[in-house]
């Protein structure tokens, strides 16, 4: 499944470390892998069950062997054979751990047991490092006992571990997204999480140079709205070597939804919609605060999960976000191309680890190499 890759970011390390092999399990589109590759780690293997996400990974990670199968059926040593693995990374499916999922937030849910497959791969392959990522709600299950049980599973394999909840906006990502990270080292090094950046990147800085679009637009390629020299530093970084904005896809909303959008100011949500336009909601008390949320231009975005289902609204235009805008807010560069139907792409973006957040963690990991060598 190898395929040639564009230059994903102009600041990808010129000096790769071919001896530093990465393995990405539950990889999704490959946000963690992209962050690792920015730091010179060569991700050679990925495992992802979703076929659209696996195709996205293949397209954007040249030379990686991508296995689109159920991880529970795989033998790690048959895949990797005799190679030494530097880091295993991944985020087991997290829907069951989410605090919004009250019915499945127990360890009786089979999906919540998939972390054991991560432990199994670490046990079999004995990487120097592992990076386990998940929703922050994992830390709240059973008053923290689930987190302790997962950490103990790795400690019993001889790993020194440390965990933290990281805010993506502290690491150059224009989004107030917070995720649980657990990092382990087999040589006794206790990982210290990277220092935060003081300055936050805003939504306007992230997407202000992208094309003006309409509800339902499905345009593969469009010129940028402003020249590179006038774009923000963040937009320049995301544009990399791209000459045009790709995948300008906007889900089409019906006229009623668009009329609702017109009543919502920046930072407001469904509560700003007039009562007569909400007639088809039987119980508005059940509406989540993130529904019909218009982004604020001068702040980082709210969480980009499945932004179509939650009806996130462009800060200035009466429409939902485009694929490219959502990818920018997740810190995917413009030459990262997603595969599959638009609904699959939207889910891939929402599920991904922001590459710049992953890059910060991987940069910190590499700073310890001399310590254990």
Domains along the sequence of the chain with CATH: 17-195+354-372 (3.40.50.150), 203-351 (3.90.120.10)
- φ and ψ at residue 50, rounded to 5 degrees: -75, 125
Name which of 91, 117, 90, 88 is nearest 20 in CA terms.
Answer: 88
* CB-CB neighbours of 230 under 10 Å: 12
Name which of 184, 175, 234, 180 is nearest 210 in CA terms.
Answer: 234
- Catalytic residue positions? 94
Tokens standing for 192? 């210290």
Tokens standing for 264? 């919502």
Residues 234 and 278: their CA atoms lie apart, in Å, by: 38
Please report the pLDDT score of residue 266 as a whole number. Answer: 98
pTM: 0.91
- φ and ψ at residue 372, rounded to 5 degrees: -100, -10
pLDDT in tens, the chain (373 residues): 333 344 445 445 545 566 899 999 999 999 999 999 999 999 999 999 999 999 999 999 989 999 999 999 999 999 998 889 999 999 998 555 555 545 544 555 555 578 999 999 999 999 999 999 999 888 888 888 889 999 999 999 999 999 999 999 999 999 999 999 999 999 999 999 999 999 999 999 999 999 999 999 999 999 999 999 999 999 999 998 999 999 999 999 999 999 999 999 999 999 999 999 988 776 666 677 778 999 999 999 999 988 878 889 999 999 999 999 999 999 999 999 999 999 999 999 999 999 999 999 999 999 999 777 6
Which residues lie closer than 8 Å to 110 by C-beta, 6 or more apart?
A: none
**Strand bridging mode 218-222 / 178-185:** unpaired
Name which of 214, 205, 225 is nearest 318 in CA terms.
Answer: 214
Name which of 109, 131, 128 is nearest 118 in CA terms.
Answer: 131
- Structural contact between residues 39 and 366, judged by C-beta atoms closer than 8 angstroms: yes
Q: How far, in Å, are 31, 54, 218 from residue 61 at the CA level?
A: 10, 10, 25
Tokens standing for 321? 């976000």
Output the CA torsion 319→321→323→328 (10° steps). 150
Q: Hunting for tokens 């390390």 — which residue is that?
A: 13
Please report the pLDDT score of residue 140 as a whole number. Answer: 86
- Structural contact between residues 241 and 5, judged by C-beta atoms closer than 8 angstroms: no
Tokens standing for 310? 């939650």
Residues 16 and 21: their CA atoms lie apart, in Å, by: 11
Q: Is 173 exposed, middle or buried (0-12, 13-18, 19+ CB in 10 A)?
A: buried
Tokens standing for 231? 């774009």
Residues 231 and 226: their CA atoms lie apart, in Å, by: 7
Ramachandran bin of 125, using left for φ above 0, alpha for ψ from -120 to 50, beta for the remaining angles: alpha
């Amino acid at each position: 499944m190898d395929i040639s890759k564009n230059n994903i970011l102009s600041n990808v390390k010129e000096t790769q470390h071919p001896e530093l092999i990465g393995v990405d399990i539950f990889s999704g589109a490959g946000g963690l892998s992209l962050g690792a590759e920015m730091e010179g780690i060569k991700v050679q293997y990925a495992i992802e069950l979703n076929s659209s996400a696996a195709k996205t990974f293949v397209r954007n990670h040249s030379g990686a062997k991508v296995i689109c199968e159920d991880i529970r059926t795989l033998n790690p040593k048959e895949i990797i054979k005799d190679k030494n693995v530097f880091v295993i990374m991944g985020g087991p499916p997290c829907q069951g751990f989410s605090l919004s999922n009250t019915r499945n937030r127990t360890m009786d849910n089979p999906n919540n047991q998939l972390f054991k497959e991560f432990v199994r791969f670490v046990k079999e392959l004995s990487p120097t490092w592992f990076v386990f990522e998940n929703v922050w709600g994992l830390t709240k299950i059973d008053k923290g006992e689930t987190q302790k049980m997962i950490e103990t599973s790795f400690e019993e394999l001889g790993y020194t571990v440390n965990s933290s909840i990281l805010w993506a906006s502290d690491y150059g990502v224009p989004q107030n997204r917070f995720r649980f990270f657990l990092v382990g080292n087999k040589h006794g090094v206790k990982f210290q999480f990277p220092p935060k950046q003081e300055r936050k990147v805003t939504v306007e800085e992230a997407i202000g140079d992208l094309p003006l679009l309409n509800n339902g637009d499905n345009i593969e390629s469009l010129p940028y709205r402003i020249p590179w020299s006038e774009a923000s530093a963040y937009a320049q970084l995301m544009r990399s070597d791209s000459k045009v904005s790709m995948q300008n896809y906007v889900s089409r909303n019906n006229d009623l939804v668009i009329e609702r959008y017109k009543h919502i100011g920046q930072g407001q949500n469904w509560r700003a919609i007039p009562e007569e336009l909400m007639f088809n909601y039987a119980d508005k008390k059940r509406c989540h605060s993130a529904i019909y949320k218009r982004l604020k231009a001068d702040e980082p975005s709210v969480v980009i999960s499945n932004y179509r289902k939650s009806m996130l609204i462009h800060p200035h235009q009466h429409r939902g976000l485009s694929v490219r805008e959502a990818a920018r807010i997740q810190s995917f560069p413009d030459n990262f191309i997603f595969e599959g139907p638009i609904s699959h792409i939207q889910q891939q973006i929402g599920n991904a680890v922001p590459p710049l957040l992953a890059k910060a963690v991987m940069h910190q990991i590499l700073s310890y190499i001399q310590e254990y060598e």
